[in-house]
Chains A and B, each alone.
Chain A
């Protein structure tokens, strides 16, 4: 075990796979000489050379298109979007080609697209989004949203070895803030298996990514009230762990779905609907959602704070549910 930041764990996972499997290569804007906008691939070009750590033009369409072609020819490309927000340029390649190729022609497309996502640092509307629900809606794509360094490494390795296109949402706010023990050896963490971040009895929070920590802080305050909160970290939004979510819903009978993405059509809606369908008779209160409001992410620190769910928002929501 070694203590790593969330960012170091991602680098470590990527490096592990590149050392292990020559088919794995990295492509993206400034990922080579510069080491990536966030320095995830710092030192990679020195170790693996310019043909495996490729600086691309500023063209996400080209990046994902190149990856898709390479993958179909047997490679294991890992693309980096400098910011998750920029992936919209590559929508057509991801959604129309990569997601459907296997269904259409039987050809696997084992690509990983790394997406530094999330806000909390006044990045504004183009550098702060959490677009996981858009892609979770597309059959054929998988969406991974790790919250811990250990999960980040294990899930990235799983993503690289997965024969299908995987979108790997790395929360920028966690990059250097979250640090924990990570196994140094290679390991994988399966998709679709949630992690119980905190065990509790009275209210469940279903969440992922950076909101896991927001929920954790809120749970501490609820604990002072004598309310025991359970936090389920989905880890992967698609596939998502219905069994774990339903089990927690059945246990506590009160569920709060929390995400940083905007509310309408956010993935929380799918979770809430599933709970209503499958665990209706176990509910002791409405399934509640806390999410960002339906508007672009604001620049202003004050407004951004009002936009992204804060600990106090979650505390209020949990208290309301607990008292219901």
Chain B
């Protein structure tokens, strides 16, 4: 394998269906100096005849494949050594020939970025996705992208697979999408705006995907902000190269390709005296974009209701011991609220629904998102518990505990943060009693739960007289998209939710 100081010139992929190429002419001889991008040789494939530019500057250290020979795509054709080194002496013969995919060196300039992406990819996300994804993904790509391969521009046959148009790069960055995961339908398999929007809308990617990778490499992220989008998206990405089809160069290149678009926001002015400036993490950018987009999309209205939690407090006191001993699970207030919410949502499908185009989508299931603050207070993630309509109180408590723990331990898989239909946020841990959270798009509502506080409360005694009692009161807010949910509907939802919580019976779980 060449070191960083040498660059191997390989037979390029001139269009997805091309597997081999013939060297028609060497334009340089061994020992000749060469500049980066200077034409080095001419090749001919069954799609196109073209010049191959030098991927590096220096001298032609070795020509491995001679004129007239036909070799597979990816085969090393020559080695470029830095100026001043001796020609023809340092290749270490063993590595010359067809390099295997995982040895394929990315261009030196992008080595760092590629390394980071790989490092990020291998951390943060357990094995879960690695096992499944690459196997389907990598080999599928060449097979499914044949339309319009011939249209790929000469001199960049794999351009279509790696070129990111400005809008695709921006959307990928905003949504933390690893573009290599997206099936391209454009020229030469290029990922189009439609492709990536469909990918984002399908929920295959969410803003919440970033944190594991991002958290795992904070320095790298801050040092190279433009690289963040691809890193962020890589949790599912670590793709072992496909065995036979030489797509690896394109994939290796796709990571740096995704990178070079700097965020306009990153061009901050010099800090004034007394100010400190830190780079915005990919996660923060993702949150910022999502929050803004949500406010720009939904007509946010918040309604609040006060709930007497006496019964829940009593039952929880009783269950705490039992659940703790038997299952090692704490029945938190949140799990009670979540359980009651899921039951109530059955009667209010629109609040569990979404506006999709000019249609309203409702479901017969509730995938409940829980907003989880990350440990350093610098991020937020919304893991989703799927099919909560099938969970009783114990199941809910267990699921919430489990997913929150995985969120904090950065063990979430991409699947864990996708497909939410309704969200609960719980800022009450700090004693706040009211808030107006922002809806997680494209959902129609978000429930806010706040601190349970003892308050003087007017109740009726057994004689029907008003008396003041001390009651544990919790405020709940429903922030809803008024485009879909009217105030009266939201009010009825909150009323029913309160009723469920205030009348919680021991057999209700």
Contact = CB atoms under 8 A, between A and B. Distances in A.
Q: Do A and B assemble together? A: yes
A134 B193 CA distance: 36
Contacts of B264: 281
B148 interface: yes
B193 A284 contact: yes
Contact of A324 (B166, B169, B192, B261): B192
Nearest to B148: A323
B353 to A, nearest CB: 24
A180 to B, nearest CB: 30
A317 to B, nearest CB: 14
A280 B169 CA distance: 11
B167 A281 contact: yes
Nearest to A252: B193
Interface size band for A: under 10
Given A323-B148, A324-B192, A282 B187 contact: no
Contact of A282 (B148, B166, B192, B261): B166
Contacts of A253: 165, 167, 193
Contact of A285 (B165, B169, B170): B165
A275 to B, nearest CB: 11
A213 B190 CA distance: 32
Interface string B182-212: 0000110010110000000000000000000
B260 to A, nearest CB: 13
Contacts of B151: 323
B327 to A, nearest CB: 51
Interface centre among B151, B170, B193, B261 (most CB of A within 10 A): B193
Interface size band for B: 10 to 19
A285 B190 CA distance: 10
B165 A284 contact: yes
B168 interface: yes
Contacts of B190: 324
A283 interface: yes
A144 B206 CA distance: 47
Nearest to B185: A323
Given A253-B193, A284-B192, A284-B193, A323 B167 contact: no
Contacts of B187: 323-324
Contacts of A323: 148, 151, 186-187
A280 B167 CA distance: 7
Interface string B166-185: 11111000000000000000
Task: Label chain B's interface by main secondary structure.
Answer: helix
B147 to A, nearest CB: 8
Nearest to A250: B167
Nearest to B264: A281
Contacts of B167: 253, 281-284
Interface string A256-286: 0000000000000000000000001111110
A273 to B, nearest CB: 15
A280 B166 contact: yes
Contacts of A280: 166
Contacts of A284: 165-168, 192-193
A324 B193 contact: no
A324 B170 contact: no
A283 B167 CA distance: 5
Contacts of B148: 323
Interface in B150-173: 151, 165-170
A282 B196 CA distance: 13
Interface centre among B166, B170, B261 (most CB of A within 10 A): B166
Nearest to B164: A284
Interface string B257-276: 00001001000000000000
A323 B187 CA distance: 6
A282 B170 CA distance: 8
Nearest to B168: A284
A283 B186 contact: no
A323 B170 CA distance: 20
Contacts of B169: 281
Interface in A216-251: none
A281 B166 contact: yes
Contacts of A324: 186-187, 190, 192
B318 to A, nearest CB: 57
Interface of A: 253, 280-285, 323-324
Interface of B: 148, 151, 165-170, 186-187, 190, 192-193, 261, 264
6 contacts: A253-B193, A280-B166, A283-B166, A284-B166, A284-B192, A323-B187
Given A281-B264, A323-B151, 8 more contacts: A281-B170, A282-B167, A283-B165, A283-B167, A284-B167, A284-B168, A284-B193, A324-B190
